[in-house]
Structure 1
Amino acid sequence: REKIRSPNDSSLASMYSSMASIYSSMNMKTNAVKFYEKSLAIQEASSSPNYSSLYVIHYNTARNYEDLGNYDAAIQHAERSLVHARSAFGSDDEKVQTVQNYVGMLRRKI
């Protein structure tokens, strides 16, 4: 029997993120952003957020907004990615440094 998914199901969030990744790889950045945002809405509403997943999705969303030339939205998502990376890995982690550098690069573009 097929299980009916709740609109807040984490597997639905994962599916949205996968769809976003596919759209991004096909250079369909607007569609990618739409599905990353859907995934984020579900994951951020979770009572037990997965910070490493949120870090990745916000980072990928930022990259797609950057590709679309929307630097303000890219910075917002990159900064959220940074917060989640710190929560997931600690401030000294290489991933945190990478996102910090990315935020700085985006700020120089505006």
Structure 2
Amino acid sequence: RMLRAYPSLIRDFHFYLMLVEDKSFDRVQYSCKSDLEGVDIVIEHKGEKYGVSLFVNTNRGCKYKTIKNSYRHTYNFKEIQIPLKLSQAKKCGDICVCGKQELLIVKKKVQGGSYGDFR
């Protein structure tokens, strides 16, 4: 389990920092508590909250994401699921992390299909 947990933690925090540094959103939060509840990152923008859930797009990753979706998610905001394709992911050492493509997906979903007013 630890061999999957550590890269996941690095991926989550790396993407959190990307979202913060991009400065497109009003607020970006990372919390270990919310991570355990199924939301890796919480974004606030123009009065709306969005939960970002990152997972690897493998058979195993998708299987467990489906299981988690069935019982973990009890929050009252929109979820943005980001499946990371390992074959296309940016690598930092041995760990695959999200990149600009995933950042653009989040921006598009928060903006409702348009990149509109993002800086």
Instruction: Give TM-score scaled by structure 1 length.
Output: 0.28
Q: Considering Cα pairs closer than 8 Å and 6+ residues apart, tell me whether 1 or 2 has the greater RCO.
A: 2
Instruction: Give TM-score scaled by structure 2 length.
Output: 0.27
- Higher share in helix: 1
- Higher share in strand: 2
